[in-house]
Chains A and B, each alone.
Chain A
């Protein structure tokens, strides 16, 4: 690993704290699903992805699509840490006049690969980018982070067929398996399990990891550098991870912290 694990683990705390801060101030929502992907984003942006502010306008670089666009408070915060935006911009999150909407928009700031927010779109777009790289002989990878609830969308499975048919071994999907969606637990709303065999039967390489274990995430990403066909990593995560009273609580998909809750959550993080 390029970075010390302690540094990255501290960074995860720092990022959660900042997300908590901007979401609270914006009286916004989606804390739970933003917290579940923090380690995934750190592993990608600090150890795996060849994406920098300097190469952002070039074709010859990796691509990252946050298909579950509603968790973009996490992405914006990582982009701040990586120098794509200033803290002043980040602090405008969801405020009047800000470039940072609650669902990311192409062109609003550098670092946003494509506009997302409507679920079930990102994987098809990722397929298009991965296929372009094949046609243009660009040896770079396309990473798409999707939600588990998002797999309710039929378009995800259309794209899954495409990626297998064209053997897109430059496409890597991370599935944030936090087990909560709009109205409750995924398995109670519309059954997804066995997710592993579903994706396998679509012809994908399927790996399963603890989505909060940065070392394992990085190792896993590195093992799939030369696979045949597309790969999906099912990352078991905890919705609201990092703050005990957020964890696995659906209300933190919607709720904006009060000042008291903010202080309590902040203290739990520190």
Chain B
């Protein structure tokens, strides 16, 4: 997804010289060409995230449009208050690319993991929260955010994620993508769980369970049109985020506040720092986010519902 970001950024800057990328000393081997091609549109601000956000706000007040790029914990948690005041309060076109959403960097330990970011970012007024699931979705959303006023948070993984969509797929901020139709129940997924959720739905289909699958690339503002859809007998949400305040919380709020009282199950990470060390795949399995573990969980939860 980060390769997709740089490619799209390059396309954007070719046409719009007011777009500036600021990195907090991240992106070794990622931005060299971009920097060479557009030195005026690239700032490495150093390892200084609070200043990064403030400078971004100042550039915006002067008429520029900004992408910020760093690891999620440093880019949004260390400087949360700068994002709140300088960017959100003033509703500026500052778009934060959060590298390493969820447990992408599993081996790096909890300092580098980001399992609370969606909760934090969606709590901020004016902020929109985007979690693309593949490189194609990343490019499309990057392209859209820079065209609109106001801030955004875009949670990406790292490099090398598989392509899920076809190039013809259309994306609109605030509009879910429906990837499967089924009458039994519904799965909402987001961000980097998309590929697994798709495999999961295919497996369950082979076992005779037919599910709707929505990719919620925009967690804020949430697509309310699902309220008019047939959701079946139960709802699952799948996310690589803490159980507090992420996709599951958002969908539960949406449904419950609109009097849709379906059995509801959240598949997410628990409210804990992850102590185990390992790859994303290894940790997903420990915490019930591997395709097999999700399948077992779903089959067990819906036993008496169908």
A contact set with B: CB distance below 8 Å: 59, 105-107, 113-115, 117-118, 120-121, 123-133, 135-136, 154-155, 158-159, 161-162, 165
Contacts and interface: CB of A to CB of B under 8 A. Distances in A.
A59 B61 CA distance: 9
Select the residue from B55, B81, B82 with max chain A CB neighbours within 10 A: B55
A113 B64 CA distance: 16
Chain A: interface secondary structure? helix
Nearest to A159: B51
A128 B48 contact: no
Contacts of A115: 85-86, 89-90
Contacts of B59: 128-129, 131-132
18 contacts: A106-B89, A113-B61, A114-B90, A115-B90, A124-B53, A124-B55, A125-B54, A125-B55, A125-B86, A128-B61, A129-B59, A129-B62, A132-B59, A132-B61, A132-B62, A136-B62, A158-B51, A161-B48
A135 B23 CA distance: 18
A158 B50 contact: yes
Contacts, number: 95
Nearest to A154: B50
Nearest to B60: A128
B22 to A, nearest CB: 9
B50 A118 contact: no
B51 A162 contact: yes
Given A114-B90, A127-B54, A135-B40, 4 more contacts: A59-B63, A113-B61, A132-B63, A155-B54
Contacts of B82: 121, 124, 155
A166 to B, nearest CB: 9
A129 B54 CA distance: 10
B61 A125 contact: yes
A167 B61 CA distance: 20
Contact of B64 (A117, A120, A127, A132): A132
B48 A162 contact: yes
Contacts of A136: 62-63
B165 to A, nearest CB: 36
A121 B85 contact: yes
B56 A128 contact: yes
Interface in B51-76: 51, 53-64
A128 B46 contact: no
B89 A124 contact: no
- Among A117, A128, A130, chain B packs the most CB atoms within 10 A around the CB of A128
B45 interface: yes
A121 B54 CA distance: 6
Nearest to B50: A155
A151 to B, nearest CB: 14
Contact of B57 (A107, A125, A133, A158): A125
A128 B82 CA distance: 14
Nearest to B46: A161
Contacts of A127: 51, 54-55, 58
Residue with the greatest number of chain B CB neighbours at <10 A, chosen from A118, A132, A159: A132
B85 A118 contact: yes
B75 to A, nearest CB: 14
